[in-house]
Structure 1
Amino acid sequence: MTNNTSFINHSFFYFFYFSTLGAFLPYWPLYLKSIDFSAYEIGFISAIMIGTKIIAPNIWGWLADFSGKRHTVIQIGSLFCFLIFFFVFFIEKFFAMAITFFLFSFFWNASLPQYEAVTMNSLGKNYNKYSNIRLWGSLGFIFTVLSLSYLTKLFSIEIVPYSIFILLIITWIITLNINKSLSTANIFRSSDMNIWKVISIPAVMGLLVSCFLMQISHALFTHFCYLLQENGYTVFQVEHCGL
């Protein structure tokens, strides 16, 4: 695989992965509201997606280190994402939706951390070019938020789960092109490092705090979208606030 081909594949992954996120953040709470979920239920389901980030990446990371097959972890995670999400089309009850989203988000959180490692491995000493690749994730997010704002106006909010499902399938297809030689994980050794020593590094602590605050903002934004619609804003107007 040439460097140019690798760059394109990585860019496509980030574009569609964050396109999916762009469909979730502003639109999913509005879709749940349209099928008569309460504010509490919407918040609970959104919290599940964030909450699994505490557990799932650690499990998948350990599995990638133990097996040495990071690409397989990414592909399995992406595959089960759209397979599990398929059940959303038949669910209208809170408990069933909560269980489905717990399973979905468990696999959803498997792909990105491992793919980040693949990307950095492929860049090698040219790690300063990471931003040129990651930029496509932001473009994908913006593109989806804007596109769905018009599509929901044209077809109604019910188009949201279909859009997410298609994006999940495309993301999985892209993961099939991962260069296996760049996705081989080092076999884990428990004595290699002390996690608490790493966390105590000021730069790492600063990063963790900023990530913590960012996740809080996602939680608040979920209810912000709901609140705007409750106060008379149209779905089209609310969705543009997603940017």
Structure 2
Amino acid sequence: MPADFRRYALFYLGYYGVLGAYTPYIGRWVASHGHGGYAVGAMLALWYGGRIVAPPTWARWVARSPRPGHWLFAGCLLAALIFAGFLRYDGGLALFAVMGLFAVCFNAVMPQFEAMTLNALGPRNHDYGQIRMWGSIGFLLVAASYGWLLDRLGDDVFIWLTLPWLALTAFAAWLHRADPAQPPPAADAPRDALWRRPGMRPLLITVLLVQLGFGPFYVFYTLHLQAHGHDGFAVGLLWAIGVLCEIAMFWQAPRLVQRFGAPRLIAACILATAVRWVLVAAFAGSFAWMALAQVSHALSFAAFHAGTMRRMAELFPQRRDMAAAQGLLYGFSGGIGGVLGAGMAALAWQRGGGALAFAAGAACSAAALAVHVSMQRRRTEAHA
């Protein structure tokens, strides 16, 4: 990896290290304070809601600034300070207020950084996976160890364990403070033109449905495993298996994208994801089946993400449009899809437990595959 790209890898390491704490274990921390499934779902819904509100506004502010790196650092520093509020507020409306503010700040910066990374790569965008892989390493280090640590130290240390990763993210952002401003959007290309770009709407709908299917995984996977008798070490190990396979896939993703193309790779990933959720719904008590399901994370997350990034680079070859396009993707799919996924997961969890929640996730993935295949057929027919 070129020396300059190490700064980008460090940011992904810290940022996804935070997610490695938050995604698997925030539900456990909330439940340990006496809150039920709806409260856990609300915490994740607020998290994803931040993806709807923050990125578009943040992108406008960054576009007007001659020093976008300062905005990146400010967002990361604010996120760390706000997250420390959980040390005092663990219930009532204050809990959700802290969550909402943290979600806005932390979610605002990633679309900006994704655009900075793709712009820095330029024609080498196929190497994105090898930089993004370091985010998976950060996620792995945290997700694999926190279950064991929380079993021994108690759930209350969760916030203290996560704050150093937020500090690392802020430090990594500081290293980008002098990065040059990105080219401004063209005056004759309004933002709604991004939505009308041929191929963009089908991609957004597909990614939204995939994100919807991930709702039960992000909200209740740890609790689902605990309900079926797995201890903290086993839970952490299962998360680690998924992320190890994810890391290996990010390393190989450039070759897969170049060989098969983004559309075919995305279709294969969605199919694997649907099968994965069926396994989690039906065989959660078996560590072996859960390990097999986690192996498919290489496709359902890493290869899918790399394929999506390649498709975005194809749809928006002009660098000046990339930041706004990333904000649209992040907010619409990850934001709206995440909120709806958390709500769906909470409702299904309360009514039928993890089995119903993950069965609903499988149905969403099947719908995503149907949309994707249908749109690819239309593209093929249009070019015939």
Fold similarity call, TM over 0.5: yes
Structure 2 counterparts to residues 129-140 of structure 1, below 5 A: 129-140=127-138
Q: Is the 8 A contact 1:16 1:140 kept in 2?
A: yes
CA distance in 1, matches of 2:134, 2:206: 22
In the TM superposition, what is the alpha-carbon distance from 1:176 to its structure 2 partner?
A: 0.6
In structure 2, the residue matched to 1:108 is: 106
- Identity of paired residues, percent? 25
Deviation track 1:62-111 (CA, whole Å, cap 9, x = no partner) reads 11112243212211110100110111001121311100011111000121
In the TM superposition, what is the alpha-carbon distance from 1:199 to its structure 2 partner?
A: 4.0
SS in 1 for 2:64: helix
CA distance in 2, matches of 1:200, 1:150: 47
4+ aligned runs moved over 6 Å, structure 1: none
Q: Is the 8 A contact 1:68 1:187 kept in 2?
A: no
CA distance in 2, matches of 1:31, 1:42: 9
In structure 2, the residue matched to 1:228 is: 225
SS in 1 for 2:11: helix
Q: Is the 8 A contact 1:16 1:170 kept in 2?
A: yes
SS in 2 for 1:67: coil
Q: Is the 8 A contact 2:19 2:139 kept in 1?
A: yes
Q: Where does structure 2 lack aligned partners over 5 or more consecutive residues?
A: 243-384
In the TM superposition, what is the alpha-carbon distance from 1:125 to its structure 2 partner?
A: 2.7
In structure 2, the residue matched to 1:211 is: 207
Q: Which moved more, 1:68-77 or 1:16-25?
A: 68-77
What amino acid is the match of 2:231? T
Q: Is the 8 A contact 1:69 1:185 kept in 2?
A: no
Q: Is the 8 A contact 1:67 1:187 kept in 2?
A: no
Q: Which has the larger Rg?
A: 2
CA distance in 2, matches of 1:227, 1:123: 40
In the TM superposition, what is the alpha-carbon distance from 1:132 to its structure 2 partner?
A: 1.3
2:7 equivalent among 2, 6, 9: 9
Q: Where does structure 1 lack aligned partners over 5 or more consecutive residues?
A: none
TM-score after normalising by structure 1? 0.88
SS in 1 for 2:127: helix
In the TM superposition, what is the alpha-carbon distance from 1:146 to its structure 2 partner?
A: 1.0
TM-score after normalising by structure 2? 0.58
How many aligned positions are there? 239
2:152 equivalent among 147, 154, 165: 154
Q: Is the 8 A contact 1:85 1:165 kept in 2?
A: yes
Q: Which moved more, 1:126-135 or 1:161-170?
A: 126-135
CA distance in 2, matches of 1:151, 1:113: 32
